[in-house]
Amino acid sequence: MSEVLVATLVTVIMASTPLLLAAAGELVVERSGVLNLGVEGMMLAGAVTAFAATLATGEPMLGVLAGALGGTALAALFAVLAVGLAANQVASGLALTIFGTGLTALIGQPLVGTSAPRLPPLLPEALAGLPVVGPLLFGHDPLVHLSWLAVPAISVFLFRTRAGTMLRACGENAEAAHALGHPVRRVRLLAVLFGGAMAGLGGAFLPLSYTPMWVEGMTAGRGWIALALVVFAAWRPWRVLLGAYLFGGVTVLQLHAQGLGLLPIPSQYLSMLPYLVTILALVVIHAGPWRRRLEAPACLGRPFVPPA
């Protein structure tokens, strides 16, 4: 029984990692006052570039780097529109997802049906062989450990450093931050690029670790769940960690329910479960007493144009 439980928890960790990476990056972006709805497209860009680079070089770590660069490239395109040209952020983000979905389908078409080396575990196999804690803590690849480190690192950056305070100021009142001499557009640009790199890493995890192959549209809506997680977490890093593992657990639960035939309903309804839970959580948060605790940046989604 304990082996089954440990195996299930390991699966939850695997399912939660791409969500956590993408949501952590998007949290930083939104804290700067920018709403980027292109997370799904950036994750797909990271997935296809990571898989293609790994297939070409045989080095999964080079694939991870390529995935981060792929997500950053699409984020740079969004930054030009939303930050540089002050275009509508919602429209620009949606266009980025549509563009990323189509572009990755085109690039990845020759890669369908091929396999590439998987990411190896970061720590020695002797540690991974320890009872219970070995598989849970030490048997994972570098991206899982990076997702764990990203949460405290982002928390310290946002709430314990001058640069993080500047970034939050740009999200709360861009005009006042500009009046104080803060480079609002530069801060937002760097935040968007960071969010793109994290989304790219989340996408890279899918073909290099979770399912070692390329499939068109393999993110399967994870980018949208990552966006919802930021709201669910009230823009707090540690709550993003909790939310990512909650929704990762729901995903694994519906897969196990399908495999074991526990619920006498069509599998399509079970596949909808993670997305229904996401929508339900957002509705409850916005309608219930938790609404007062939401701390959305005051300038979220508002373009900033420096006065002449």
- Residues in CB range of 71: below 8 A, 6 or more apart: 42, 43, 45, 46, 196, 197, 198, 199, 200, 201, 203
Look at residue 157 in the predicted model and tell me its pLDDT.
97
Report the pLDDT value the prediction gives residue 288, as an integer from 0 to 100: 59
Residues 301/175, Cβ–Cβ less than 8 Å: no
- The pLDDT tens digits of the residues spanning 220-275 come to 889 999 998 998 888 999 999 998 998 888 877 766 665 555 556 666 666 676 67
Helix ranges (H only) for the chain are: 2-31, 39-57, 60-79, 89-108, 125-128, 133, 142-160, 162-172, 174-179, 184-205, 222-232, 237-260, 267-271, 273-287
Q: How is the chain split into domains, by residue range?
A: 2-293
In terms of CATH architecture, what is 2-293? Orthogonal Bundle (1.10)
Determine the pLDDT at residue 1.
Answer: 45
> What pLDDT is recorded for position 66?
97
Residues in the chain: 308
Check residue 122 and give its pLDDT.
83
Q: Is the dihedral of CA 63, 64, 65, 67 positive or negative?
A: positive
Percent of the chain with pLDDT over 70: 86
Q: Which residue has the tokens 């939401």?
A: 294
Supply the pTM of this predicted model.
0.92
